[in-house]
Amino acid sequence: MEPGTVLTLTLTPRLHTHFPIPIRAANSNTLFQPRFTLSSHSPSPSSFSAYSYRGPKPKRDFLADWVSQNDDAVRTLPIYVGSASLFAVLLNRALSGIAPVADAGSSQSRADLLTLGLAVTNVLTGLVWLSIRPKSIAVVNPQGVECKRLCTTLPDVARNELLWVWESLSDATCCRSLVIVYESSCVLQIGFAAESSPGDGEAVSVDANKLMQGSVYQGVMKSGAQSYLANLSLYPGKSELPFLPSNTQAVILQPLGDKGIAIIGGDTIRGFTASDQAWITYIGDKLDSTLATYVKHHPLTSQD
């Protein structure tokens, strides 16, 4: 390239604006003045379609959807298939001129016996499907009273975080009761709680010392991992949680380090999903960090 040559480069989009940019050539003191021409054009729809999302997209399982929408018909289908097979075998036997008594030496008789066995199996399968149905899981209304008890000696930042945890869990999950015990003190009891006596409207208070002596608390603290009681009525340890409503369906026991525990009661059997459990684990770590700084051994005070 000769010194003094002017480079002209055109870039899109063009703004119809020319501006010189000096470029010094290698081993030379000569400056080149290239001109970049830019123009402005509104992007066409085809330019967006070229960069549209082309990754994997969720697929619907139409067969599974159809089966779920026609559950009764699917359960009775083996009975119809088995009955039709029995009728076809008997009709074939009657019209084919074969003796009605099964002959082990006849290939037709052996085939008929095998077909009869399969048909009876289909009929029995349909009967089993009709007799065994999954139990429907419904949301229940907690039988108890609402309460809101916070440790009054906690600073505002810790109390606000406790309330934020409750609001987040109650809005995003099936949580209806929350109890947090830390360093032998109940720092939070909120949501629905068992009624101390019928008609008095007072919630059963949490006996932190008694709770910590129970096998439920000891087992969670020993393992150091979250414990999920998906169907609380099946666990004998339910008696160690008398402060929860009597019809609490599911409970998550989340350890807070080695100093406390968060007890989360739900209104649905198996209502906490795997993502809920993972999220609650992170919340427990955050609460442990906060409470380790602020919590003190003081009684709770009811807060309206």
Q: In 3D, which of 55, 258, 256, 52 has the Cα closest to residue 158?
A: 256
Q: Could you give the 3-state DSSP secondary structure of residue 134?
A: coil
Say which residue, 111 or 247, is predicted with more confidence: 247
pLDDT at 250: 95
Residue 32 near residue 49, CB atoms below 8 Å: no
Q: Find the range with the poorest average confidence among 104-118, 170-184, 245-259.
A: 104-118
Q: Which amino acid is at 5?
A: T
Query: Cα(185)–Cα(57) distance, rounded to whole angstroms?
Result: 50
159 contact partners, CB below 8 Å, separation of at least 6: 150, 151
Q: Cα torsion at 46, 52, 56, 62 (round to 10°)? A: -60
Strand 250-256 vs strand 260-266: parallel, antiparallel, or unpaired? antiparallel
pLDDT at 141: 93
pLDDT at 1: 47
pLDDT at 51: 46
Query: Cα(215)–Cα(54) distance, rounded to whole angstroms?
Result: 53
Q: Find the range with the poorest average confidence among 69-78, 82-91, 156-165, 288-297.
A: 288-297
Q: In 3D, which of 158, 159, 206 has the Cα closest to residue 179?
A: 206
Q: What distance lies between CA 30 and its chain's CA centroid?
A: 68
Identify the band that residue 68 occupies on the pLDDT scale cut at 50, 70 and 90: confident
Look up residue 224 and give its two tokens.
């150091």
Q: Given strand 227-229, what is the order of strands in its sheet?
A: 227-229, 250-256, 260-266, 175-182, 185-193, 145-151, 300-302
Q: What is the mean pLDDT of residues 120-141?
A: 87
Q: What distance lies between CA 199 and its chain's CA centroid?
A: 37
pLDDT at 228: 95
Q: What is the mean pLDDT of residues 33-55?
A: 46
Calculate what percentage of the chain has a pLDDT beyond 90. Answer: 44
Query: Cα(245)–Cα(265) distance, rounded to whole angstroms?
Result: 9
> In whole numbers, what is the pLDDT of the chain averaged over residues?
79
Q: What Å distances lie between residue 55 and 45, 52, 187, CA to CA?
A: 20, 9, 48
Residue 6 near residue 34, CB atoms below 8 Å: yes
What sign has the CA pseudo-torsion 198, 200, 202, 205? negative
β-bridge mates for residue 263, sequence order = 179, 253
